[in-house]
């Protein structure tokens, strides 16, 4: 399967714990995005990488959130001191650098986080 | 700030008829618009897009219409098929800033 993969698919954690999610984009896709989706809403942009450089961060990305893409391939999203409001589906997407004809982003299946 | 709105949370149509999903946006700086389809337990899948310089784009059974003066976007599916039943998200963007609507759940009845 050469699509975007995310790990884990589900994570249940207690409030105050740290969690880390991984995203493996489609090979050779330079751009990588993280989104958060809550029930009844569409995906909300969190952050964007072009290769290893984090070029944009949403104001939704509080200082408890950090994302990395150290080698320009896979990316990790870490949430420190989780709160119940962090419970959501975290989606990763990727696109090639020249994908401007359709602006399509290819999404992974998401990681569902539940904070108890 | 909801810059992209899908005011109908659900839509039900008969197989073979036309499905029309609507989307409104507020930011006149958006220069591209997309529709995504989402099945349960999967990420959104790209369906069709349109740039702000066009008013129509067609791909098989799917047609997207853009009315910039009204800041309105619509997706037409004809003929609708039961396999089209899913949640449809409208998205609009400028550079890498893409905003999504809340989605419309389409049910196509056999």
Pairwise CB contact (< 8 Å): B46 & A45: no
Pairwise CB contact (< 8 Å): B45 & A40: no
Q: What is the pLDDT of residues B43-64, one digit of tens each?
A: 999 999 999 999 999 999 999 9
For residue B42, list chain A residues with Cβ-Cβ distance below 8 A: 109
Residue tagged 């958006």 (tokens): B30
Q: What is the pLDDT along chain A (116 residues), one digit of tens a residue?
A: 579 999 999 999 999 999 999 999 999 899 999 999 998 899 999 999 999 999 888 888 889 999 999 988 999 999 999 999 999 999 999 998 765 666 789 999 999 999 99
Chain B closest-CA separation from residue A42 CA (Å) = 4
Cross-strand partners of A31: A50, A95
Q: What is the pLDDT of residues B72-109, one digit of tens each?
A: 999 999 999 999 999 999 999 887 778 999 999 999 99
Cα separation, A47 vs A78, whole angstroms: 12
Q: Do you know the residue count of chain A? A: 116
Pairwise CB contact (< 8 Å): B43 & A44: no
């Amino acid at each position: 399967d050469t699509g975007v993969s995310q790990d884990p698919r589900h994570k249940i954690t207690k409030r105050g714990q740290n969690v880390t999610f991984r995203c493996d984009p489609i090979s050779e896709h330079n751009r990588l995005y993280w989104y958060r989706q809550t029930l009844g809403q569409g995906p909300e942009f969190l952050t964007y990488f072009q290769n290893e450089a984090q070029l944009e961060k949403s104001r939704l990305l509080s200082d408890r959130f950090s994302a990395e893409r150290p080698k320009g391939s896979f990316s990790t999203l870490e949430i420190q001191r989780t709160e119940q409001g962090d419970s959501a589906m975290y989606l990763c997407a990727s696109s090639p650098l020249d994908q401007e004809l359709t602006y399509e982003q290819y999404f992974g299946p998401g990681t569902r986080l539940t904070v108890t | 700030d909801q810059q992209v709105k899908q005011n109908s949370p659900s839509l039900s149509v008969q197989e073979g008829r036309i499905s029309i999903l609507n989307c409104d946006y507020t930011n006149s700086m958006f220069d591209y618009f997309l529709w995504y389809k989402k099945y349960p337990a999967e990420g959104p899948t790209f369906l069709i897009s349109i740039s702000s310089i066009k008013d129509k784009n067609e791909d098989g059974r799917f047609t997207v219409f853009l009315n910039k003066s009204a800041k309105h976007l619509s997706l037409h599916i004809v003929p609708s098929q039961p396999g089209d039943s899913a949640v449809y998200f409208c998205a609009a963007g400028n550079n890498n800033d893409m905003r999504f609507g809340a989605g419309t759940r389409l049910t196509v009845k056999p």
